[in-house]
Structure 1
Amino acid sequence: MPRFSIIVPVFKVQGFLRECLDSVLGQSYTDFEVIAVDDRSPDGCPAILDGYAERDARVRVLHLAENVGLGRARNAGLAEASGDYVLFLDSDDHYTPGLLEAVAARLAATRDPDILVFDHVRTHWWGRGGRSSSADLLAAAGTGTVSVRENPEYLHLFLVAWNKAYRRDFFLRHELAYAPGLYEDAPVTYRSMVLADRVACLERIGVEYRQRRQGAITRTPGRRHFDIFPQYESLFAFLRQRPDLAWACPPLFERALDHMLFVLAREDRVRLGHRPDFYRAIRSFHARHVPEGFVPPDSPRGKEMRLLATASYESFAAARVLRELRGFAGSGKRRVTSAVGRRAGRALYAARSRRPLDPQLAVYSAFSHRGVLGDPAAIHAKAGQIAPHMKGVWVVREDAVDTLAPGIDFVTPGSRRYHEVMARATYWVNNVNWPGALAKRPGSVHIHTHQGTPLKYMAADLLAKPGARHGFDVPKMLWRADRWDHSLVANRHSELVWERAYPCHFSSARTGSPRNDVLVNANAEATEAARARLGVPAGHTVVLYAPTRRDYRRGGHVDRIDLARFARDLGAGHTLVVRLHPSLAKGIARGMGLADLHRRGVLIDATDEPHVEDVMLAADVLVTDYSALMFDYANLDRPIVIHADDWAAYTASRGAYFDITADAPGHVSRSYRELAWLFDSGTWQDAESARLRRGFRERFCEFDDGLAAERVVRTLMLGEGMAEPGAAGAGRVPGPATARPLMDAHGRAH
């Protein structure tokens, strides 16, 4: 029988689940079992759980036949527990290192108390917060035990299931169980605390409590928050049956009112229109259960409790507004002026939104209005083929208008027609966020395509990397992303990352990347046409060098290799094509001497080539460091070389979701000498390179089957059905780079 049974209820947390389980299984204290309860999770959680169970015998998985909610999922796990003590851990939180060893030591020192309570730290989505308000209470308890009857202030400890270790026989003897609905922690926590003879405290942070921006039930407004009333009714019904616990009624009544008034004040819980009913429900609870002689605390919340006996909702709300206005008045004129400016902007857009949405109008943009490019361009082109009745309008900057092909309908930002089109379009397609002044209209459909598979940290994950997020307003970025309805993904890795990095309201769409359709469907003729457009000499082996930016250097650029030397070392019959990151296209390319090298025919500078797909099609091999281009290029099944001479510095400054040097799509070089040897020896295209590339493609080109653009148009815009991604392209072998043999630096054919 293990010392601890750790029960982990799981539902729609695939982006956080591995971190949670790893935090438990990596504990230095190992005498425990993990009972993971799959509450009929519709995402990748069941498969993740089964994978852990296969690898670690301490993990058992219960797959529930139907979704029963957090409370009853905990009960299901409890029924299977066999440990001396039971701990509950929410699957989007995680344990701190060494917690279980510290808990075991304190339990032994206090001779197995009924309950042990430990501390936590709240981790907000924008960054780590401070310790809990319970820290001082936990410290005051010392190393012994306390009785709540003698110390009722311990009812102020944080009201959750996951900061405690319960002795299992105590939990079962008192028939403690979690009820369905929200706020299920309240009756169990308070019942257990007043029933316990001895409660031990551990002044140690044991849980990183993740305050998710989206997805948490308690932060989703609606009438479900009225569940708080039956939860507390059940608690007081229990107290009425136990005259010996009459002493607990006054402090628990005060805690109940405090909790209810807290929920009432939260805009992310009780909607404005529901507040009168919620307040009346609090007053009703107050009238039924107020203990004789109850005295509210001397605090702002205590003043609200006093109003419950006599004040209508209107009077209560007026008193609260008056208090808020007093605080607001002291914050200065700048805040007021800023708020007025934001409201004026919203009113201007609202004036254009009085007409109904046009169900056949779609608006497109890419790379901050730089032109008809990327995924949006592929979707627009496919819509023109299979849905010609749908009108597509592009938002394009004035300095990019000259790049548009004849027949493209466009508007420029800020123009009168721009506001008209944006206000009436039903479909919005973009690979970056739309400006914040454009409020999402009910009924509109926002399709976000992203710009590739993420390797480096993005969005909310940048909060842990202050250097990399310099210049980014992450909260505002996420506020804009709240408008997304669909987030396109090409693989499960992207799905997990985007759901974690953008904790917003969207649904992931496993469509594949529309921009990659041209690569998936490529043939030798397409390759030769792309090479001709770039000016590649006939018969040459094309080496594409595409480095990414560096956040740890001012300007974002570091000269990794001597390009002239690399072009020379490649030898006769080779052409070096260089494409810098788009953010480095201005100025930096000139500083590297690319223009001069291009003019002299040493290499081809493709940095300004608008269609990166053509650049990839022209290449026989890609040399990159950490550019997302590699995930797209892998669709061609052509060799990839990773030049990772500064991987440690890059990950320290920017962060990465996995180690590209360990899970590489081909050979890895860590110095120019190694890079040159790979090409001089022909190793860059050997059997090992093909093996690595095959595994990489299976993982990251999973949903790219050449039908991504059509799938987006049919399923997300026309509402039609279509085959699952990958089905049509199963077993697909990409077309060859060229119809000729590739050459090494010595002119040998491979």
Structure 2
Amino acid sequence: MPRFSIILPCFKVQGFLRECLDSVLGQCYRDIEVIAVNDCSPDGCGAILDAYAARDSRLRVLHLEENVGLGRARNAGMPHATGDYLFFLDSDDTLTPGALRAMADRLEETGDPDVLVFDYARTYWWGGTRRNVLAHILAETQDGSGDGTFTAAERPEILDLLMVVWNKVYRRDFVEREGFTFPPGYYEDTPWTFPVMLTAGRIATLDRICLNYRQRRQGNILSTTSRKHFDIHEQYARVFAYVDAHPSLARWRPYLHAKMGEHCLDILAKPDRLPPSDKAEFFRRTAEMFRAHRPEGTPVPDGLRVLERGYAGWVLWRQSGRARRELGRRAQRARAAAGARLGRARSAVGPRRPLDPHLVVYSAFSHRGVLGDPAAIYHKAREIAPHLRGVWVLRDEEQAELAERTGLLPPGTDHVILGSASYRRVVGRAAFFVNNVNWPGTLHKRPGSVHIHTHQGTPLKYMGADLLGKPGARLGVDVPQMLRRADRWDYSLVANRHSERVWERAYPCHFTSLRTGSPRNDVLVGAGPDAGREVRARLGVPDGHTVVLYAPTRRDYRRGGLVERLDPARFARDLGAGHTLIVRLHPSLASGPARGLGLSELHRRGIVIDATDEPHVEEVMLASDVLVTDYSALMFDYANLDRPLVVHADDWGAFAASRGAYFDITAEAPGPVTRSYDELVRLFASGAWRDEEAARARAAFRERFCEYDDGRAAERVVRTLMLGEPMTGPAGVPRARRVPAADRDQPASL
């Protein structure tokens, strides 16, 4: 029999679930069982749980056939629990190292109490951490006399702590004896925690932070605007019914009566909880319940007398209480409003003019030209929906001229210059926006417009909010501003489930993940060995040569990002006769010292081909026979070609430590991994870079990361999002799903 049964309901938390499971299964204290309940989650939670269960026998997974909500999902897990203690953990929170050992030691020290209450810390998306402000209560009660346990009547201050289920563990036979279960609803913790704490004969505390309580950027579901907050009345009715059924608890009625009033008024006071039209009704129901359950002869606390004055009286009371603070904020709000009006004026002309349903605005790589995923979507739209007018945004006139010279702006392409009058007219009327980089902060998103974000490939290194813990990598990056701009996304395109999980975690915003595949990879899917013949000829590759494409990425542990991991001239020589080396630097290094330190000269002398300035990387990939890279996201795209890949990872530790990585590419590589230059040369000399083992690794990599790339991604985007046709996709690809504003605690039904 394990010491702890950890019950873990899961619903739309795929971006955080692995971190939660790792924090539990990686604890030094191993006498546990984990019962994960997949509450019919529409994302990848079920697959993640099954994968972990296959590796660790302590984890069992229950897959519910329909979504039942958090409380009933917990109930579903309880009959399967065999441990001494029940621990209801939310699947986006994490345990701190050593937490379970500390709990087990405290339980033994206090002789197995009915309930153990421990401390937690709020962890914020921007990297901040704040300890529970009432932690002193745990310290005071832990230092008590006797066996270290008490009842709520003996130490009523214990009820001042956050009345949630996850900061406690419960003796299983106590829970079963008393018949405690969770009701459905929004506030399911309320009718569990009060009866449990009031009934428990022995309560112990642990003055230690055992859990990190994740604070979502968009808040949890209890912070959203909804009529579902009316559920609080029904839940307190259940609490009072429990007290009525247990006469020994009657002395708690005044406390619970006041607590109910405070809780409801707190919900009413927060402007983002209830629709304005429902506030008067909520107040009325609260006042009725307050009167109905008021204990005879009990005076009304000063702060709750407002419930006897009616809704209008409450409004006046709130306004008077906030008047002084409000006056202090008015100047700041006025300035902000003026700035917002100015931004809207710059972004849209004639706000009363309707959106043009046939106007699509495109941009790629900070307005460089017709590139990447947006370009693939643009070309497909011209082919199958010629009535859609596509307009590209260019950074400035100089960039427009450069784009025309280099082929980044094909002749006849409709375009506008960022910030110009034409730009303002276009973005003020466009129904669709397609970009792989965020739009400027001055662009006002009009209601009804659709923003499609394509990203720039499958992520290996940390992105978005995950950069907050990597100060070197985020140097010069305003992450909060980045996320405010990402709030405008309606759709996020993904090529695999890994990307879907990462983007939902790295960009905690409102958007729908759309499993379309990567549009720019359409040209790679199914490409035969001769697909790059014309490009090879244009680049000057001799007939019959094996083309090795070397594509290094930037480093965040070196100022400027340039770290020369190998000498291209030496590598080209060591590859030997019959080989051509093509080098393509990361775009951020294209205008830096790497070119001047020798690459341009090597290209001029014909020793290597410098393809850094080639406008379309897809063409360079088609021209090659094998890719050598370190940690460039290019490898995920290249896998679609089913051509050999080699990962040269001689500084993986430094790269992962400085930038952060979502998985270890050296352990889950698409082909051979080399750790030194000599090892890389020997690999090519031996031919092992294209042997059967390399092919097996590549096949597994393709299956995982080219999951939705079927050659029709761009068409899927145009037909689904611009023409309104039903979503279709590769076999097994479900329809798009909405990422909720907050999904910490889901209601009984959605």
Shared fold per TM-score greater than 0.5: yes
Select which of 648, 654, 658 maps to 1:653. Answer: 658
Which of 223, 227, 230 lines up with 2:231 in the alignment?
Answer: 227
Aligned to 1:409: 414
Which residue type is aligned with residue 530 of structure 1?
V
Q: Structure 1, residues 166-223: CA drift from partner, whole Å, max 9, x if none?
A: 1223223333222211111112111211222221001111111112224832233211
Q: What amino acid is the match of 1:83?
A: G
Aligned residue for 1:391?
389
Separation in structure 1 between the aligned mates of residue 282 and residue 481 of structure 2, nearest angstrom: 31
| Cα shift at 1:336 | 6.3
Tell me which of 503, 507, 512 is aligned to 1:507. Answer: 512
- In structure 2, relative to structure 1, the CA distance for the partners of 1:503 and 1:255 (3 Å cut) is same
Residue aligned with 1:520, SS: coil
* Match of residue 209 from structure 1: 213
Q: Which residue of 1 aligns with 2:161?
A: 157
For residue 578 of structure 1, what is the amino acid of its counterpart?
Answer: V
The one-letter amino acid of 2:717's match is V
| Separation in 2, partners of 1:229, 1:347 | 45
Structure 1 residue 318 corresponds to structure 2 residue 322: no
Find 1:451's aligned residue among 441, 448, 456. Answer: 456
Q: Does residue 634 of the first structure (1) align with residue 639 of the second (2)?
A: yes
Q: Give yes or no for contact 1:103–1:202 (8 Å, CA) kept in 2.
A: yes
Contact 1:119 1:134 in 2 (8 A): no
Q: CA shift at 1:99, angstroms?
A: 2.1
Structure 1 SS opposite 2:9: strand
2:595 aligned partner: 590
| Structure ranking higher on relative contact order (CA contacts 8 Å, 6+ apart) | 2
Report the counterpart of residue 240 of structure 2 in structure 1.
236
What amino acid is the match of 2:6?
A: I
Aligned partners of 1:306, 1:504: CA distance in 2, in Å? 40
User: Could you tell me which residue of structure 2 aligns to residue 19 of structure 1?
Assistant: 19
Cα deviation digits, residues 93-147 of structure 1 (max 9, x gap): 1222322222222222212212110111111111141211231111111251122
Q: CA RMSD in A?
A: 2.3
Where in structure 1 are there 5+ consecutive unaligned residues? 297-301, 729-750
Note if contact 2:349-2:424 (Cα within 8 Å) is conserved in structure 1.
no
Corresponding residue number in structure 2 for 1:734? none
Per the alignment, residue 738 of structure 2 pairs with none
1:660 Cα deviation from its structure 2 partner: 0.9
Contact 2:7 2:37 in 1 (8 A): yes
Written as runs of structure 1 = structure 2, the 5 A alignment for 1:360-371 is 360-371=358-369
CA separation in 2, counterparts of 1:33 and 1:660? 30
Q: Per-residue CA shift, 1:457-480, capped at 9, x if unaligned?
A: 010111111211122222221222
Q: Which amino acid in 2 is paired with 1:393?
A: V
Q: Which amino acid aligns with 2:653?
A: A
1:32 paired residue number? 32
Tell me the residue number matched to 1:71: 71
Aligned twin of 1:739: none
Q: Residue type of the partner of 2:12?
A: K
Task: Provide the secondary structure at the position in 2 that maps to 1:359.
Answer: strand
- 3-state SS in 1 of match to 2:531: helix
Give the alignment of 1:516-665 within 5 angstroms. 516-665=521-670
Residues 482, 686 of structure 1: alpha-carbon distance in 2 compared, 3 angstrom cutoff: same
Q: What amino acid does structure 2 have at the position aligned with 1:545?
A: Y
Paired residues of 1:705 and 1:726 also in contact (CA < 8 A)? no
CA contact (8 A) 1:352 1:419 kept: no
* Range with greater deviation from structure 2 (152-161 or 307-316): 307-316
Counting aligned pairs with the same residue, the percent is 64
| Structure-2 separation of matches of 1:12 and 1:694 | 29
Tell me which amino acid in the other structure corresponds to 2:8. V
Distance of 1:530 and 1:250 partners within structure 2: 82
Aligned mates of 1:269, 1:126 — CA distance in 2: 23
TM-superposed CA distance for 1:567, in Å, is 2.2
Counterpart residue identity of residue 363, structure 2: S
Aligned equivalent of 2:255: 251
Give the whole-Å Cα distance in 1 for the aligned partners of 2:371 and 2:22.
41
What is the CA distance between 1:90 and its match in structure 2? 0.9
Deviation at 1:453, TM superposition (A): 0.5
**Residues 280 and 313 of structure 1 are in contact (CA less than 8 Å); yes or no, is this contact kept in structure 2?**
no
1:342 paired residue number: 340
8 A Cα contact 2:347 2:427, kept in partner: no
Length, aligned pairs only: 719
CA–CA distance in structure 2, aligned partners of residues 465 and 219 of structure 1: 29
Partner-residue secondary structure (3-state), 1:602: coil
Q: Give the conservation status (yes or no) of the 8 Å contact 1:541–1:573.
A: yes
Is 1:188–2:192 an aligned residue pair?
Answer: yes
Deviation, structure 1 residue 342: 3.4
Q: CA distance change for structure 1 residues 682 and 54 in 2, over 3 Å: closer, same or farther?
A: closer
- Contact 1:215–1:503 (CA<8 Å) still a contact in 2? no
Query: Aligned partners of 1:467 and 1:276: how far apart in 2?
Result: 51
Distance 1:723 1:341 in 2: 43
Q: Is the 8 A contact 2:343 2:444 kept in 1?
A: no
Map of 1:400 onto structure 2:
399
CA deviation map 1:225-265 (0-9, x unaligned): 22222212222233344443233233333333333333334
C-alpha distance 337-578 of structure 1, shift in aligned 2 (>3 A): same
Q: Unpaired segments of 5 or more residues in structure 2?
A: 734-750
- Structure-2 residue corresponding to 1:740: none
Q: Matches of 2:610 and 2:731 in 1, distance apart?
A: 34
1: CA distance, partners of 2:64 / 2:731: 30
Distance 1:79 1:685, change over 3 A: closer
- Residues 317-354 of structure 1 show CA distances to partners (whole Å, capped at 9, x for unaligned) of 4224414325537xxx7886456323431354465432
Give 1:655 deviation, angstroms: 0.3
Report the alpha carbon displacement of residue 658 of structure 1 after superposing the two structures with TM.
Answer: 0.8
> Do 1:114 and 1:170's aligned partners in 2 also have CA atoms closer than 8 Å?
yes
Question: Is the CA contact 2:348–2:424 (under 8 Å) kept in the aligned structure 1?
Answer: no
With 530-539 and 212-221 compared, the bigger mean Cα shift is at 212-221
Q: What are the superposed Cα offsets for residues 709-731 of structure 1, whole Å, 9 maximum, x if unpaired?
A: 11111222222246432689xxx
Picking from 685, 708, 711, the partner of 2:713 is 708
Residues of 2 paired with 1:239 and 1:351: CA distance?
Answer: 62
Aligned match for 2:482, one of 477, 481, 486? 477
Q: Does 1:9 align with 2:13?
A: no
CA pair 419-655 structure 1, distance change in 2 beyond 3 A: same
Q: 3-state DSSP class of the match of 2:14?
A: coil
SS of residue paired to 2:632: coil
Distance verdict in 2 for CA 1:526–1:54, change over 3 Å: closer
Normalising to structure 2: TM-score of the pair? 0.91
- What is aligned with 1:328? 329
Shift of the 124–268 alpha-carbon distance from structure 1 to 2, 3 Å rule, reads: farther
| Equivalent position of 2:123 in the other structure | 123
Q: What is the distance in 1 between the residues matched to 2:328 and 2:278?
A: 25
Q: Distance in 2 between matches of 1:726 and 1:574?
A: 39
Which residue in the other structure is 1:427 paired with?
A: 432
1:542, 1:577 within 8 Å by CA — same for their partners in 2? Answer: yes
Q: Note closer, same or farther for the CA distance 1:642–1:726 as it changes in structure 2 (3 Å cut).
A: farther
Counterpart secondary structure, 1:312 = helix
Q: CA deviation at 1:654?
A: 0.3
Q: Which residue of 1 aligns with 2:179?
A: 175
Equivalent residue of 1:90, what SS?
Answer: coil
Q: CA deviation at 1:532?
A: 2.0
User: CA shift at 1:637, angstroms?
Assistant: 1.5
Amino acid at match of 1:322: A
Report deviation, 1:698. 1.5
Compared CA separation, residues 145 and 727, structure 1 to 2 (3 A): closer
Deviation sequence 1:636-664 (CA, Å, 0-9, x none): 12221211111111111100011111111
Whether contact under 8 Å (1:186, 1:231) holds in the other structure is yes
Shift of 1:619: 1.3
Q: Which residue of 2 aligns with 1:307?
A: 306
SS in 2 for 1:61: strand
CA distance in 1, matches of 2:586, 2:411: 28
